[in-house]
Amino acid sequence: MLNKMIDHTLLKPTATEADILALCEEAKLYDFMSVCVNPSHVALAKKALEGSTVLVCTVIGFPLGANTTDTKVQEAIEAIDHGADELDMVINIGKAKAHDYRYIAYEIAELVAVAEGRTVKVILETCFLTDEEKVAVCQAASQAGATFVKTSTGFGSGGATFHDVDLMKASILSYMQVKASGGVRTYEDAMAYIAHGVTRIGTSGGVALMNHEQSKGGY
């Protein structure tokens, strides 16, 4: 069902506690897979979602990915301590551009280790990478034990594309998954990405997607 493919997302720097609580209420109403919030809101979201099946997802090294590995690891540990169920981490994009994929794989593996079985999604920020770099990062994520590769932060110069999703899916291990994020705003967009093999969608427009599906007799 579409609702369980949606990470209901609010990552704006201006988001208030009231905004996060409203996001959580929407997520409970539609039974989304998760809410995706900045680390400072994880504990609030966890409490607000008690008794529901909605998970708490947070972002690590967001949005630039340029933090040190140790900083990302500590950020992840704190997020988990506050109740995070899933971690969406931004790769070090500069290292990817320098083709230092050993660094990329090591950093992802460090996050996977502290996640202790929790879902780890690796954000490529595809708008900044060549196809060859995207493939190599996907291979590094596979080597490091990540659960997902994800297209975008939503804060770069571009978001998800069908080409990138197809390329990423072809470049990961068969049991791994792809998350489309950045610019998935319409029901038709969502259905098209799912047809391309995406199993999770990051969007701030989850309510609109569900309202459209309900109007078509789904959900």
Q: What is the pLDDT of residues 25-79, one digit of tens each?
A: 999 999 999 999 999 999 999 999 999 999 999 999 999 999 999 999 999 999 9
CATH code at position 6: 3.20.20.70
pLDDT at 217: 60
pLDDT at 5: 98
Which pLDDT band, with edges at 50, 70 and 90, does 216 fall under?
low
Instruction: Identify the pLDDT of residue 213.
Output: 72
46 catalytic residue (yes or no): no
User: What pLDDT is recorded for position 212?
Assistant: 83
Residue 88: active-site member: yes
* Active-site residue (options: 28, 46, 134, 150): 150
- Residue 32, classed as helix, strand or coil, is coil
pLDDT exceeds 60 at position 219: no
Q: Tokens in use for 136?
A: 């190599």
Q: Are 99 and 134 in contact (CB under 8 A)?
A: no
For residue 39, the enclosing domain spans 2-215
Question: Based on the structure, what is the number of domains in the chain?
Answer: 1
Q: Active-site residue 150, yes or no? A: yes
Kindly state the DSSP code that residue 40 receives in the 8-state scheme. G
Kindly report, residue by residue over 7-19, the tens digit of the pLDDT. 999 999 999 999 9
pLDDT, tens only, 144-198: 999 999 999 999 999 999 999 999 999 999 999 999 999 898 999 999 999 999 9
Return the DSSP state at 194. H
Q: Please give the mean pLDDT across all residues of the chain.
A: 96
What is the distance in angstroms between the CA of the first residue and the CA of the last residue of the chain? 7
Residue with tokens 């949606």: 6
From the candidates 7, 85, 88, 189, give the one annotated as an active-site residue.
88
